[in-house]
Amino acid sequence: MNLYFDDFEVGARYPTRTRTITDEDHEAFCRLVGYDVPLFLDNEFAQARGLPGRICPSHLIISFSTAMTGDLFTGTVIALVAIDHARFLAPVRPGDTIRTEVEVVEKRATSREDRGLVVFRDHVYNQHDQEVFCNDKTVLVKTLPRPRTGNG
């Protein structure tokens, strides 16, 4: 999908795809970033702390959510400018299926007419429709191409 700055309306919500977090996803992410944290790798350790088992690292959830949000503007995104107000509301575990619903919170023009800033609020839900994570992402997005004016 290639939505432009002009296509987004404040208050609109966009559903995205789902993703089941496999054991392989979880373990590969932990290896990739160097997480050697028992809470992420050892079921018994996590259970001794009152959890049902090992949990996914927060940045794994952020990464999958960012990819889901990015589906809205694959060809029109210029840059991710900021991530704000991130809140982890419930643990996510290997085997959970997450989805992101993207809410347009704010949009504003920039000094350049070919781009604008959009603040998206990502609401991440698990397979039980429980919100497990939310955050605001400020993204620089292309505007719709304007007809050229002048002496052509």
For the stretch 72-122, pLDDT in tens is 999 999 999 999 999 999 999 999 999 999 999 999 999 999 999 999 999
6: number of Cβ within 10 Å: 12
| Whether 134 contacts 89, CB under 8 Å | yes
Is residue 150 scored above 70 in pLDDT?
A: no
Whole domain around residue 49: which residue ranges? 5-142
Number of domains in the chain: 1
User: Tokens at residue 75, please?
Assistant: 């060809």
For the stretch 30-86, pLDDT in tens is 999 999 999 999 999 999 999 999 999 999 999 999 999 999 999 999 999 999 999
102: number of Cβ within 10 Å: 23
Overall residue count recorded for the chain in this entry: 152
Is residue 146 scored above 70 in pLDDT?
A: yes
CATH number for 94: 3.10.129.10
The predicted pLDDT at position 148 comes to 74
User: Tokens at residue 142, please?
Assistant: 């292309």
